[in-house]
Amino acid sequence: MGNRHVVLIAVALAVVTGAGPVGAEDGPTPSAEVSSSASPSPGPAATVRGPRWAQVRDRDVRDAGILEHMVTLGPEAIAMAQVTDAQGQTRVRVLATEDGWSWVRRGTIRLTGSVNALLADGTVLYAAGWDEGATIWRSADAGRTWATSADPGPFAGGADGLPGTDEGAEVAAIGRGPGGLLAVGEAVDPDTLGRRAAVWRSADGLAWERVAEAGVWPSFHVLAADASTWVVIGSSSGAATSPAGADAPVLRWSADGATWTDAGAEVGAMERMDGVTALPDGGFLAWGARLDAPAAPVLTWWSTDGRSWDRGADDPALGGADLASVRSLEGGSQVVAVGGVPRGAYAFPLLGAAWRRDRIRVRTSLCVKDVASVRAILVAVGGSCGGDRQRGRAWTSPLAP
């Protein structure tokens, strides 16, 4: 997603309380505003005060560049910042923290393209994106050193038996689910320049194979999984339900990453579907927005198995929100989202069947890109997205056990 100018934090399935040190861009959190809208999420709504967020004062964070792609790896949270120097050389800096306050620089990935996703899988990190073609980097030492696959063949265009070019293939998302690791993205047909889905599988993260059947589907953008089902969101241009000049979202599921079935989610002609995540207590949540009503609440879709989906009710507490990331916290029972709303920064815990809006004071020149948890602390990262000088930023808040 693009730069965001405010922060949205949504915590689901548990209540976050407490207070933390207040930075220069933070302020008191007002009393909760609880909506009456419902979604297919169990439990009664609750009325409590939300957390207070404090800006982190750390030189490595400030000088890194805009931080994003954040995950929890054991006792640490890992984040990345992509920067381009005056000579046009792009590099991705890797930073780590054990408490959200003190950060250290780990390693660097030098590339010509971009990193689109980051996965923590046991003790290994995977970064996925584009570097003159689809690329997956692997680090077994917490981000200090990175290497690509020893066999580049599966990432070459046309590796699935369909036309394609090396430069036209890109990895958009990576995850672990049934059968091992899966990466999804797109390839480009050199004859028509049309986009099509690309899927790669790996049992061990070292050897990868290209999935042939995936090439007949539209491009895949985001990925989630539980123990038995993969779910992807993609797009198909020119569909009857898509507005002029826009792609139509598609939601599909698979038990093996090779054969994909349309989930039949209800998506309107002027609606987009942005992301999907597996819920910590089972099931999936997908979210999106209306193209013709920017102040409308976030759209949600809920599923118990990833194969059949129901629309969630609109919740006015989420009016105007534009979510950049929604994560199920590693090792916890919460879901956290970050993004923006037009009139300021807010926390949005999901309490039973309703969302609550808690304000967080952050300057409008800042954007928040991702969030993770480490040692009972929530850590959000982003940076100063306005202007030419891109500085990193991080914020922390207590996380209830």
Burial of 305 (0-12, 13-18, 19+ CB in 10 A): middle
Is 129:117 a contact under the CB 8 Å cutoff? yes
Considering the domain boundaries, does residue 3 fall inside one?
no
Distance CA(147)–CA(322), nearest Å, equals 34
Distance CA(10)–CA(273), nearest Å, equals 18
Q: How many CA atoms lie within 13 A of 73 on its CB side?
A: 23
Considering the domain boundaries, does residue 50 fall inside one?
yes
Long-range contacts of 107-116 (CB under 8 A, 24+ apart): 107/139, 107/143, 107/144, 107/145, 107/146, 109/137, 109/146, 111/135, 113/170, 114/82, 114/90, 115/69, 115/80, 115/82, 116/170, 116/171, 116/172, 116/173, 116/185
Compute CA 72 distance to the chain's CA centroid, rounded to the nearest angstrom: 13
Considering the domain boundaries, does residue 358 fall inside one?
yes
CATH of the domain at 184: 2.130.10.10
The pLDDT tens digits of the residues spanning 190-243 come to 666 677 888 999 999 999 998 866 556 678 999 999 999 999 998 865 443 444
Considering the domain boundaries, does residue 302 fall inside one?
yes
Q: What is the DSSP letter of 269?
A: T
Considering the domain boundaries, does residue 1 fall inside one?
no
Q: How many domains does the chain have?
A: 1
H or E stretch covering 78: strand 76-84
The pLDDT tens digits of the residues spanning 268-293 come to 888 999 999 998 889 999 999 998 88
Considering the domain boundaries, does residue 328 fall inside one?
yes
Considering the domain boundaries, does residue 196 fall inside one?
yes
End-to-end Cα distance, the chain: 31
Q: Note down the domain range covering 379.
A: 8-398
Considering the domain boundaries, does residue 255 fall inside one?
yes
The pLDDT tens digits of the residues spanning 34-80 come to 333 334 433 333 334 566 888 899 999 999 999 999 999 999 999 99
The pLDDT tens digits of the residues spanning 157-182 come to 666 655 555 567 899 999 999 999 99
H or E stretch covering 252: strand 247-254
Q: pTM for the whole thing?
A: 0.84
